[in-house]
Chains A and B, each alone.
Chain A
Amino acid sequence: MASYIVKRCLYLVPTLIAISIVVFIVIQLPPGDYVTTYVMRLEQEGVSLSQHQIDQMREMYGLDKPMHIRYLKWMAGIFRGDFGFSFEWNRPVAELIGGRLALTVAVSLTSLIFTWVVSFVIGFYSATHQYSVGDYLATFIGFIGLATPNFMLALVLMWFAYSRFGFIYGGLFSPEYAMAPWGMGKFFDMLKNLWLPVLVIGTSGTAGQIRILRANLLDELAKPYVTTARAKGLSEIKLVLKYPVRIALIPFVSTAGWRLSSLVSGSVVTATVLNLPTTGPMLLAALKSQDMYLAGSFILFLSLLTVVGTLLSDILLAALDPRIRYQ
């Protein structure tokens, strides 16, 4: 087991290096660079810059160097904890993204727990009450959750809360806490406002999880050992919980990492709609204005979360199901 974990961790290094190269190329794909966007914006305001000034700006930001030099400089900086400089915000990237990444992880983790609890309860009910009204209802709601785009669900919920209760969803924090330093008050305020993003981000994954749990549990329930146990007079609840559920939960637990990474991905769009102070809105703005180091660092960190999530899943799977390791 230990050697398996070490092997998987070593795999992580080349993957991350490859990802960083791809990310760096992708964020530079748009024609022009930040200076072009900036000059264009100034021109719209009626200010024009001389070619000399533009060149000077390029030199200042290091945009005059070839791509591979810039990449190496960026990478060298990252190992020292310096993620480059955000042109748009005029501040080091590390300062900007830290808090937002932490909030992204917090929102994603809460959504993961939400997904788990809801899909476990519903999946368990659907499987033990197959073809009942509740089963059909659960399946139907699950399908709706699967088919509704996240952002649309967010909009509809916001609209509903506003038009019915006059409640305006302002984001993760109430106005009085938005700028306040972290403390117990702010923390509880966040918990109070967390329900909407968690509901929105969570529902898309719930449908899939319900289906997996339901299918696995149904498979297990049809097996002879369940019939034997029932014939021997084991109480129904004990019978189901003790054996079939434990086996049906394996994919549930082991896919946690993948689920987490898809939640991180999905939260980007939702966060933009709900204007959460997470990675979403800032990443979108950075991509649009070609603020390359900011966008690049965001994508790099989100990739890191994904890769680590997948790694955790693989390790969990190997721990729960010994057959995997020997493949």
Chain B
Amino acid sequence: MYDPTTPAHGTAENPVVQPESETYYASQWQLVWRKFKSHRLAVSALVVLAIIYLCAAFAEFVAPYDPHVFDSRYVMAPPQVPRFFDEDGFSFRPFVYGYTGRRDPQTLRMRYEIDTTKKLPIRFFVRGDKYKLWGLWENDLHLFGTEEGRIYIFGTDTLGRDLFSRVIYGARISTTIGLVGVFLSFVLGVTLGGISGYYGGIIDNIIQRVIEFIRSIPDVPLWMGLAAALPADWPILRVYFGITVILSLIGWSGLAREVRGKFLSLREEDFVMSARLVGCSEWRIIAVHMVPSFLSHIIASITLAIPGMILSETSLSFLGLGLRPPAISWGTLLQQAQNLRTVTLAPWLFLPGVFVIVTVLAFNFVGDGLRDAADPYTR
């Protein structure tokens, strides 16, 4: 047995870790976390993701208005930018300028413009539209709002609904669909990939052929075909699960391949052999010895698989094959930006897309950081 108190001999480029140092006692996860923390981009991306998910979780509170409520007085009103400075100088409380409506003499359409004479101070923790947080607690407290007038920091859509509130509510579906979908793929992929890699032989052959087959079907047309099969009269929740199942049914194959590869290489490792010689059961070898040694890799590839699912949901909903209004997701919100004329009048309808891009980028950066950190022993 190795005695940590006896000094070992190190070389210049590979110094021996002193027994007193923290690194010596750190578990694998502590090492992974330490390496991840040194990746600044990944850490900031993780913070961004945390904020997005918090907003999605507390959408009712963060959003100033009910996402379904529309105000026909403010249709396609431009975004109000929160400000600290006006002609009098700095004000500690941020404020927005109100709107003046004016009818376009040619199109007879109401056009809204920012009116710098109307100053609406932003209040925090205001009472507003009633809601039921997670369908449990009734409340009317909102993170911010104004006492008079309306505040639309992202502008309003073609029906006069607050775009910011809708984006925040949309985050709920758009960001979780990737998580749920990846979780389902993970279960399928790890189970089938594990069986395939651990047992080998005929089972391995069959599973490999199935994976090859799934990968040979073009994904977008297949998604479209499957998504078109979801009945139009299904409730939102069921369509949501339908879409996640569709996405994960196709998404598991890549993960299964990776798990299989890991199992194949680990099976030959000495520590597995010794575990077998000591008399460990097969399940114990898999669960206690093999899975932890590649779990960090799997988590990294899962993180990198989430953005693909978010993008697929957005595309499907955009095409009208995924979630349909009144369901709110970033994809359904972007449907309004489909018409070139509408977008020219209201370019802020692209804002939900900015959220898609930021979320996808953040997942990519976190995934990259995790992949680098997954192997804490490499330099």
Q: Which A positions have Cβ atoms within 8 angstroms of B?
A: 15, 18-19, 22-23, 26-27, 29-31, 143-144, 146-152, 155-156, 158-159, 162-163, 168, 261, 264-266, 268-269, 272-273, 283-284, 287-288, 290, 295, 298-299, 302-303, 305-307, 310
Contact = CB atoms under 8 A, between A and B. Distances in A.
A250 B315 CA distance: 32
Interface of B: 212-213, 215-222, 224-226, 228-229, 231, 307, 311, 314-315, 318-321, 334, 337-338, 340, 343-344, 347, 350, 353, 356-357, 360-361, 364
Contacts of B229: 26, 29-30
Contacts of B318: 149, 151, 269
A302 B318 CA distance: 21
A303 B218 contact: yes
B231 A30 contact: yes
Contacts of A163: 344, 347
Contacts of A298: 221
Q: Which 7 A-B pairs have the closest CB atoms?
A: A29-B229, A147-B360, A265-B220, A287-B228, A26-B225, A265-B218, A152-B353
Nearest to A11: B212
A299 B221 contact: yes
B217 A29 contact: no
Interface centre among B218, B314, B364 (most CB of A within 10 A): B218
Q: Pick from A29, A151, A152, A261 the residue with the most CB of B within 10 Å.
A: A152
B334 A146 contact: no
Contact of A151 (B216, B218, B228, B315): B315
Which label, helix, strand, loop or mixed, suits the secondary structure of the B interface?
A: helix
B338 A26 contact: no
A30 B364 contact: no
Consensus secondary structure, chain A interface: helix
A264 B218 contact: yes
A298 B353 CA distance: 29
B221 A273 contact: no
A26 B229 CA distance: 8
A162 B340 contact: yes
Given A23-B225, A283-B221, A303-B217, A155 B343 contact: yes
A287 B224 contact: yes
A305 B337 contact: no
A18 B224 CA distance: 19
B356 A149 contact: yes
23 contacts: A144-B357, A144-B361, A148-B357, A152-B334, A152-B357, A159-B350, A163-B347, A265-B221, A268-B221, A269-B318, A269-B319, A287-B225, A287-B228, A287-B321, A288-B228, A295-B225, A298-B221, A299-B218, A299-B225, A302-B221, A306-B216, A307-B216, A310-B215
A159 B216 contact: no
Given A159-B343, A305-B218, 9 more contacts: A144-B361, A149-B311, A149-B318, A151-B319, A155-B350, A272-B319, A298-B221, A299-B218, A299-B225
Most A Cβ at <10 Å: residue of B213, B225, B228:
B225
Residue picked from A149, A159, A310, most chain B C-beta under 10 Å: A149
A12 to B, nearest CB: 9
A282 to B, nearest CB: 12
B224 A284 contact: yes
Contacts of A150: 315
B348 to A, nearest CB: 12
Given A151-B315, A159-B347, A284-B224, A302 B216 contact: no
